[in-house]
Copies of this chain bind each other. A is one copy, B any other.
Amino acid sequence: MRKGCIQIYTGDGKGKTTAALGLSLRAIGAGYKIFFAQFIKGMPYSEIDALKKLSSDITIKQFGLECFIKNEPTRNDKMAAQKGLKSVAQVIDSGKYDIVIMDEVIIALYYKLITVEDLLKVIKSKPEHMEIIITGRKAPQELIDIADLVTEMVEIKHYYKKGIEARKGIEY
Q: A residues touching B (Cβ–Cβ < 8 Å)? A: 2-3, 5, 7, 9, 11, 13-15, 17-32, 45-51, 53-55, 98, 131, 144, 147-159, 162, 164, 167-170, 172
Contact: B25 with A25, CB < 8 Å?
yes
Chain A facing B: main interface SS: mixed
Min CB–CB distance A68 → chain B (angstroms)? 18
Contact: A169 with B20, CB < 8 Å?
no
Which residues of chain B come closer than 8 Å to A162, judged between CB atoms?
148
Min CB–CB distance A2 → chain B (angstroms)? 6
Which residues of chain B come closer than 8 Å to A170, judged between CB atoms?
5, 23, 26-27, 30, 131
Which residues of chain B come closer than 8 Å to A149, judged between CB atoms?
14, 157-159
Min CB–CB distance A70 → chain B (angstroms)? 24
Which residues of chain B come closer than 8 Å to A150, judged between CB atoms?
155-157
- Contacts A22-B21, A169-B26 known; A13 to B54 CB distance under 8 Å? no
